Amino acid sequence: MQVFDGLRKEITIQNIVCTADLKQPVNLNCFNEYKHLWSKLELYQCGYVKDNTMKGCVMVFASGKITSVGTKQIETANIELQKAGNILKKYKIISTFEIVPTIQNIVGKFDLGKKVHLEKLARLMPKSMYEPEQFAGLKFSIQNSQIAWIFASGKGVLVGAKSVNEMNQGLFEIEKWINI
């Protein structure tokens, strides 16, 4: 697995959600006729592209929007969006296309290396919520719509970041309150 330049060692990337626009409509009704394409339109309003080399999969919407999910590297997400476009073009489902990827969400897990007292932390941290009878973790809202879920074990999850820098900033913000 790739090491993200500048990503703190306490953070491990779990999922990257990356989108692009094919800038043309896509007929999803034919997806089940081709290898590496499938859909269940009665349940989901999208089709899926996944070949045996892809780590994640690419969701394809009738509008031409596509979303890569399930990868752990930005480059892999970009490559899989391109592969999906090539597969759709090979089957003449779309014509020419250019992939301009946009990261929508990076999900990472972290470990603070020590146990934390969540009730105390909830009283200290602004924009936090802890309701143990509802969920075992403390929810902490960080800038730029990033959210952290922190557990008593000192482990947690960061969601909503759009860059490695935002992931690092989110963990620094958490540590600022942990170390008070």
The reported pLDDT for the residue numbered 180 is: 65
Quickly state the pLDDT bin for 124 (edges 50, 70, 90). Answer: very high
pLDDT-derived band at 4, boundaries 50, 70, 90: low
> Which pLDDT does position 5 carry in this prediction?
64
What is the percent of the chain where pLDDT is above 90? Answer: 92
Cβ neighbors of 36 (< 8 A, separation 6 or more) are 49, 50, 51, 87
Average pLDDT over the chain, rounded to whole? 94
Say if residue 53's pLDDT is above 80: yes
The pLDDT, as a whole number, for residue 6 is 85
Q: Say whether 112-178 and 17-103 share the same fold.
A: yes
For residue 1, name the pLDDT band (cuts at 50, 70, 90). Answer: very low
Domain ranges for the chain:
17-103, 112-178
> At residue 145, does pLDDT exceed 90?
no
pLDDT at position 143 over 60: yes
Return the pLDDT at 63.
98
- For 102-119, write each residue's pLDDT tens digit: 999 999 999 999 999 999
Query: b/e string for 108-136 if b means 16 or more Cβ within 10 A?
Result: bebebeeebebeebbeebeebebeeeeee
**Number of helices (H) and strands (E), helices first, in the chain?**
3, 10
CATH topology for 112-178?
A: TATA-Binding Protein (3.30.310)
| CATH number for the domain formed by residue range(s) 17-103 | 3.30.310.10
pLDDT surpassing 50 at residue 135: yes
Contact between 62 and 26 (Cβ < 8 Å): yes
State the pLDDT at residue 179.
80
